[in-house]
């Protein structure tokens, strides 16, 4: 069995894991607010941001200087003792890194292009900053590790895939510990891209609500250390699929999502009734919520409590899977109340298939949590975490 020995996370919901847990109980996210300067046409929109100062990246790492990597350092600082312990115990060549991202240094590249377009100097930009593989390459170099390292970029399932790959590295005997996670940063390109798809809400997103009209984008990072050493929370099962139905829209019957969920249940040797809570993908786009509610209803009925935490973090794109896995781990570790869906601004959509969407906080009845990530291109991932001690 593979265990989670450490969790570090930073997002609009909190600047540390402890901060995130405290704010989750209150249902308040300090970094979710109206922001300007991101949408074309001088439009404002609610976005999930990290407003605290981030760790500096020294000049010797100039090729890796990006906000994405600064977010990773902020998450790393929370788990540094466990990382050091793993390196000392197993050796640098036996500790791997697998991360996920959608943006990497895209925002830095965007600023470089803008400056160049206006004939202004752009002295800080380096091409490696924007490469999708840079987050894991940076972290490997920063920590002086020699084990396997790569980055997934499968849109919104990227860091969930990283967690799955980390487990496989250990099970295959290629590593004894793996740092898994992901990071994504607010950037004009995805924000305006989702807006052009008419999938961006300029107000706070409303998953599964009647008047939902799109996502709220956020930024953040999370890191976990996976090992075989027994810990209170374990990675019980994983599932993944790629239905390739459409470049952006989900399969109408959620066939790929169903396969990922059932594969995770089978891998964990669990039945639907064994799940205590589902952290839904819940983007608040009309199609995603319709399809996901149908999938959950078909597999779990109305018996399993579920909700989306994206109104508290924003949709952090490639980092969403690991941030939501971190939230799920904190719920299991600390017995946090399950986060309800907020329907004060708009009632739940009566046209949705009925499933166990939470209206009020409640305790976790069974110590097993599923977290779903469904991405563009029909790239789906489902993970199951459980408290085992």
pLDDT at 248 over 70: no
* Nearest-angstrom CA–CA distance, 362 and 231: 25
List the catalytic residues.
156, 281, 315
| Residues whose CB is less than 8 angstroms from the CB of residue 176 and which lie 6 or more positions away in sequence, other chains included | 86, 89, 90, 94, 95, 170, 227, 228
pLDDT at 246 over 80: no
Look at residue 112 in the predicted model and tell me its pLDDT. Answer: 76
* Nearest-angstrom CA–CA distance, 27 and 97: 32
In our burial notation (b when 16+ CB lie closer than 10 A, e otherwise), range 268-280 reads bebebebbbbbbb
Of the pLDDT bands very low, low, confident and very high (cuts 50, 70, 90), residue 230 is very high
8 A C-beta contact, residue 223 and residue 379: no
Q: Report the DSSP beta bridge partners of residue 238.
A: 383
Look at residue 243 in the predicted model and tell me its pLDDT. Answer: 82
Least confident of 4-13, 103-112, 332-341, 355-364: 103-112
Percentage of residues in the chain with pLDDT exceeding 90?
86
Location of structure tokens 């984008």: 217
Closest by Cα among 240, 221, 319 to 7:
221
Domain ranges of the chain: 2-387
pLDDT at 249 over 80: no
pLDDT at 9 over 90: yes
Q: In what order do the strands lie in the sheet with 379-387?
A: 149-152, 95-100, 177-184, 220-227, 2-11, 233-242, 379-387, 368-375, 277-279, 306-307
Location of structure tokens 């890194």: 97
Mean pLDDT within 104-111 = 84
Contacts 24+ apart (CB under 8 A), 26-34: 27/312, 27/339, 27/340, 27/342, 27/361, 28/312, 29/311, 29/312, 29/313, 31/218, 31/314, 32/204, 32/216, 32/218, 32/311, 32/312, 32/314
Of the pLDDT bands very low, low, confident and very high (cuts 50, 70, 90), residue 126 is confident
pLDDT at 364 over 80: yes
* Nearest-angstrom CA–CA distance, 331 and 339: 9
Question: What's the chain's Rg over C-alpha atoms?
Answer: 20
Mean pLDDT within 302-313 = 97
Location of structure tokens 């979710």: 32
pLDDT higher for 248 or 339? 339
The H or E element spanning position 361 is: none
Give the pLDDT confidence of 140-198 residue by residue, as tens digits. 999 999 999 999 999 899 999 999 999 999 999 999 999 999 999 999 999 999 999 89
Of the pLDDT bands very low, low, confident and very high (cuts 50, 70, 90), residue 13 is very high
Going 339 to 220 to 387 to 168, the CA torsion angle's sign is positive
For residue 159, count CB atoms less than 10 angstroms from its CB and return exposed for 0-12, middle for 13-18, buried for 19 or more.
buried
pLDDT higher for 243 or 257? 257
The phi and psi torsions of 156 (rounded to 5 degrees) equal -75, -5
pLDDT at 305 over 80: yes
pLDDT at 376 over 90: no
pTM, entire model: 0.96
8 A C-beta contact, residue 173 and residue 15: no
pLDDT at 252 over 80: no
Second-level CATH architecture of 2-387: 3-Layer(aba) Sandwich (3.40)
What is the chain's mean pLDDT, rounded? 94
């Amino acid at each position: 069995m593979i265990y989670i020995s450490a969790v570090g996370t930073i997002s609009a919901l909190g600047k540390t894991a402890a901060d995130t847990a405290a704010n989750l109980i209150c249902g308040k996210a300090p970094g979710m607010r109206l922001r300007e300067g991101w949408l074309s046409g001088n439009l404002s929109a609610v976005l999930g941001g990290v407003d605290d100062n981030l760790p500096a990246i020294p000049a010797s790492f100039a090729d890796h200087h990006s906000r994405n990597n600064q977010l990773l350092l902020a998450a790393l600082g929370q788990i540094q003792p466990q990382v050091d312990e793993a390196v000392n115990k197993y050796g640098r060549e036996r500790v791997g890194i697998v991360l996920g991202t959608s943006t990497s240094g895209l925002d830095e590249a965007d600023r470089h292009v803008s400056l160049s377009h206006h004939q202004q100097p752009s002295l800080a930009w380096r091409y490696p900053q924007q490469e999708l593989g840079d987050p894991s390459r940076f972290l490997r170099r920063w920590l002086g590790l020699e084990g396997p390292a790569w980055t997934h970029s499968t849109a919104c399932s990227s860091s969930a895939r990283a967690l799955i790959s980390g487990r496989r590295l250990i099970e295959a005997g290629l590593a004894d510990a793996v740092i898994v996670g992901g990071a994504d940063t607010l950037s004009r390109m995805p924000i305006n891209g989702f807006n052009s798809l008419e999938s961006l809400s300029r107000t706070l997103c409303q998953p599964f609500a009647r008047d939902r009209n799109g996502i709220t984008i956020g930024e953040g990072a999370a890191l976990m250390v996976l090992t075989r050493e027994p810990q209170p929370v374990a990675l019980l099962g994983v599932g993944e699929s790629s239905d390739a139905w459409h470049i952006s829209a989900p399969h109408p019957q959620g066939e790929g999502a169903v396969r990922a969920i059932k594969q995770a249940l089978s891998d964990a040797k669990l039945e639907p009734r064994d799940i205590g809570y589902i952290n839904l993908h819940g983007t608040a786009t009309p199609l995603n919520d319709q399809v996901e509610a149908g999938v959950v209803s078909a597999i779990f009925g109305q018996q399993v409590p579920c909700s989306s935490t994206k109104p508290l973090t924003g949709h952090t794109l490639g980092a969403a899977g690991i941030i939501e896995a971190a939230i799920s781990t904190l719920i299991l570790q600390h017995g946090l109340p399950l986060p309800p869906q907020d329907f004060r601004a708009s009632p739940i959509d009566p046209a949705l298939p009925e499933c166990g969407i939470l209206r009020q906080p409640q305790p976790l009845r069974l110590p097993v949590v599923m977290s779903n990530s469904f991405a563009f291109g029909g790239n789906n991932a489902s993970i199951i975490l459980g408290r085992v001690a």
